[in-house]
Amino acid sequence: MKKLMTICTLLLCMTMSLMAQTKRPKLVVGIIVDQMRWDYLPYYEDRFGQDGFNRLMSGGYSFDNLNINYTPTVTCAGHSHVYTGSVPAITGISGNTFYINGKRTYCASDESVESVGSTTKAGKMSPRNLKTTTMCDALRLSNDFKSRTISISLKDRSAIMPGGHTANAAYWMDVKAGAFITSTFYMNELPEWLKKFNKKNESIIKRDVRTEPEGNAILARLAIEVLENEKLGQGEHTDFLAMSFSTTDYIGHKYGVRAPETDAAYINLDKDLAQLLNKLDEKVGKGNYLLFLTADHGASHNTDYLKAHRIQAGTWDAKATMKALDSHLKEKFGTEKSVIKDCIEYRIYLDHDAIKAGNLDLDDVKEEAVKFLRRDNKIEFAVDYENMENLTMPTRLKNMMRNGYHAQRSGDIEVVLSPAHYEYEGNKPHQGTTHGVWNPYDSHIPFVLYGWNIPHGRSGVEATINDIAPTICNLLHIQVPNGSIGKPLMFQ
């Protein structure tokens, strides 16, 4: 009898222990659609099928008032801060390109690693310039690295930043090599399944499909190959598949927001998304995966298009402005050396060494530069970062600039253009568009959750890009990334 009671007690304890275990999905799928404005969801709703975007909207939960809260609103920053829950002031990813220790640096560049799967330099990349962890890192840390993370995109930075520092793999497209590649930061040789995938698709990749709907289609096929071969979501611990569709950004830059090519890209992406969802149902199981969809930034309408409809708009030639500014500063301070080092994504970098060598006062140079820039009627604000607090300007703008400013990487002065104005060299007509500024067309992005434990609904609660990672981490019952400043969003 004693033996029987002991066995029953053990069985009861085991049952209670299993019941007490935290429930988590088998797989998290993070999808970023590069350059997807929030209003594309209602704009294309009637042209989408029922199994892609509309399936997410009809069965998931949408936060309709989520905005980026820093500048510049560009790809590398967007991908980084969706996954870190942070801002450039903390992560150091203050744009696509910035200065580190006086050297112009691409956000994902890393000379200490080598390409894998290619003989080009396209693989000399890693997340080492990112100062914080991502939610993929947080997931792996939560269970002593038993979870697996794989991150994929056509763009290197869009694959690298989401996966963070501990990703099992990150793969991106090298057009010259005709392959998806990686770097020695992750591995020394591509897996056999990816070698076969590359061989099968070499001619397509070399054709450079980044500005064709096929670019998104090939990424969706790669995601399916990852599910098939890496068995993500089919193990004991929650895995993470991070993916970013880049073609929408390439097409937007080339053709514009309202172009037929952009329409085709989204309508075809809807079909690709439907195929991916069906494969997730098959391999992981309906209700067993948690999926979220968002964007890294939006985009402005083409300025010529806006002007044709009597909306004030225009372009700003940064190169010509910097040339004029440099000439003015040389004349003002009586120096022959240039004191302007660079202008990147509306941020002006002064040459501190030249200023010091000319015995000039840095504050005097910045003050004169700001005065000169403010004479331009296309510039609403020219802001000296270190004297930002004394400037009268809308709080939202000031907060976005403060969040985007990294003292060692962001330069000295930021330019804020008039609404519907953006950087463009020259004055000839152009078809495409761009992004990078504070305005809602660049900063208002979608955030839709679907699948595991997600109710149907939508909310207009004010939220920021920093809230995405804490929301996912809260659902997974894990700690947030180590630089996160966001809050978990609640379903109403």
Catalytic residue ranges = 75
487 Cβ neighbours under 8 A, 6+ residues apart? 466, 467, 470
Between CA 76 and CA 184 the distance in angstroms is 21
Amino acid identity for residue 329 in this structure? L
E-strand ranges in 428-475 read 444-445, 447-451, 457-459, 463-464
* Beta bridge partner(s), residue 115: 183
E-strand ranges in 413-486 read 413-417, 421-423, 444-445, 447-451, 457-459, 463-464
Which pair of structure tokens corresponds to residue 115? 């390409």
Between CA 123 and CA 113 the distance in angstroms is 8
Q: What's the burial of 446, exposed, middle or buried (CB within 10 Å: 0-12/13-18/19+)?
A: buried
Question: Quick check: 31 and 291 in contact, CB under 8 A?
Answer: yes
The number of beta carbons lying within 10 Å of the beta carbon of residue 284 is 23
189: part of which helix (H) or strand (E)?
Answer: none
**What DSSP letter does each residue of 13-59 carry, written as one string?**
HHHHHHHHSPP--SEEEEEEETT--TTHHHHHTTTS-TTTHHHHHHH
Report the length, in residues, of the chain: 492
The single residue listed with the structure tokens 């659609």 is 33
Spatial CA neighbour of 91 closest among 168, 164, 3? 164
Spatial CA neighbour of 490 closest among 471, 477, 464, 468? 471
The single residue listed with the structure tokens 């952009």 is 262
Which pair of structure tokens corresponds to residue 477? 């019952």
What does residue 235 show for φ and ψ, rounded to 5 degrees? Answer: -110, -165
The single residue listed with the structure tokens 């050297």 is 103
Question: Quick check: 122 and 181 in contact, CB under 8 A?
Answer: yes
Helix axes 468-476, 75-84, angle to 10 degrees: 30
Between CA 7 and CA 33 the distance in angstroms is 54
Q: What's the burial of 151, exposed, middle or buried (CB within 10 Å: 0-12/13-18/19+)?
A: buried
Q: Max Cα separation, the chain?
A: 101
